Amino acid sequence: MFRQDSDSGDSQFASTTSGPKTDSWAASVDTGGATYLGLVPPNVESSYLSLSAYRSKPVFDLLAASAGALVLAPVGIAIACAIRLTSRGPVFTSQERIGKRGLRFQQHTFRIISDKEVALLTPIGRFLDQTGLHKMPQLLNVLQGDMSLVGPKALRPAETHFYGSAMPIILSVKPGILEPRPVPKDDRSYEDGTLVQSELDVGYVADRSFGLDLKICLDAIEQKTAGRS
């Protein structure tokens, strides 16, 4: 049911990977805690969050993702049936992303593309994309410990070189299903949009709190609701 896709500009990755992988620029990780990418210690998040908040965020993610998966299960089943009935191909897709401390993982989504050559959306794909429901399978990523409910953008391997010195800071935390004020698609170049996104992600790591996470969640709901009105 899962299809492992390669993003634009990325090579196809094998699904039978033994153990976590890191990119070449992440080879300097010192798991003993001395350095991270030569710039930031691995426990950098503890300098931004109180110890109690740092420990409780993963617990909150686990409880919220579990509750969300149970409550949204009927919706997920309905979406899976609709995808299966309206287009050929698997229900889910998996794409490789760079996670905390440079570890790679497979990010799951509902399939919304029917023809990757022309990026043709499936009959239900546009609705899923506009509502953000295509991200629902990422609750599994949260339960697996690869992602958080809110966090920086989950980067493709081909995107990492655009982020430069921001990478160690961004990769000091788990990427999120919901991003801090994601950059809208407009007439800016890809490089300019990536620069803005990296600044937002770094700012999130520096300022993050449960209050900020809640605001991002509410903003996302408002944005999706306004987009459909």
The pLDDT tens digits of the residues spanning 213-222 come to: 888 888 888 8
Q: Is the dihedral of CA 11, 174, 144, 62 positive or negative?
A: negative
150, HSE (Cβ side, Cα atoms, 13 Å): 22
Q: Answer yes or no: is pLDDT of 26 > 90.
A: no
User: Is the per-residue pLDDT at 88 higher than 70?
Assistant: yes
Q: Identify the pLDDT of residue 149.
A: 94
pLDDT at 6: 52
pTM summary value: 0.73
Number of neighbours of residue 218 by Cβ within 10 angstroms: 10
Are the CB atoms for 170 and 99 separated by under 8 Å? no
**Using 50, 70 and 90 to split pLDDT, how confident is the model at 94?**
very high
At 5, phi and psi to the nearest 5?
-100, 155
Q: Which of 158, 159, 199, 153 is nearest to 174 (CA)?
A: 153
Structure confidence at residue 91 as a pLDDT band (50, 70, 90): very high
pLDDT at 87 over 70: yes
Instruction: Tell me the average pLDDT of the chain.
Output: 76
**pLDDT digits over 37-79, tens only?**
333 434 444 444 555 556 688 888 999 999 999 999 999 999 9
Phi, psi of 50 (to 5 degrees): -65, 160
